[in-house]
Amino acid sequence: MPRVFTPVDISKEEKEVRKDYFDRHTPVIICEDHAREGEKFRVKVKLGTEYPHPDDPDHFINYIQLWNRETFLAEVHFAPGALGNKPGHVEVDFYIVPGPVSMNLSAMAACTKHGLWQSESR
């Protein structure tokens, strides 16, 4: 399988160029801490927090996936240009309805130039 990139702790990284590289490729899951069974729950996945990723034809985010443990939930494919070819924080909101079992969400993002990146779990 392709190597999966996992920047362990970006906040401790001191080199600006590496911080930039890690931050703009790492998917981040943004959601409430607690979800209620049977109620719609928004799960935002966003790439990076500070550094925007290019949206060029030869360098863009190809897809973002959302998983709950080993269960695939959803995947969004992007075409370059959705951000108007400007650098930006690629972002998508999924909506799920939790069942009775606790969830463990994770996201994966694929860059056309820099491979496959994983989020921390939520």
* Residue ranges that bind a second copy, judged by CB under 8 A: 1-4, 37-38, 40, 44, 55-58, 62-63, 67, 69-86, 88-99, 106, 108, 110, 112, 114-116, 118-119
Q: What is the largest CA-CA distance in the chain?
A: 45
**Pair 66, 107: CB distance under 8 Å:** yes
Distance CA 35, CA 14 (A): 35
User: With respect to a second copy, which residue has the nearer C-beta, 9 or 16?
Assistant: 9
CB-nearer residue toward a second copy: 18 or 81: 81
CB of 54 to a second copy, least distance (A): 12
Smallest gap from residue 92 Cβ to a second copy (A): 6
Nearest-approach distance from CB 7 to a second copy, in angstroms = 13
Chain-centre distance of CA 17, in angstroms? 20
Residues 6+ apart with CB under 8 A from 46: 27, 28, 30, 89, 90, 91
For a second copy, give the closer residue by CB, 13 or 62: 62
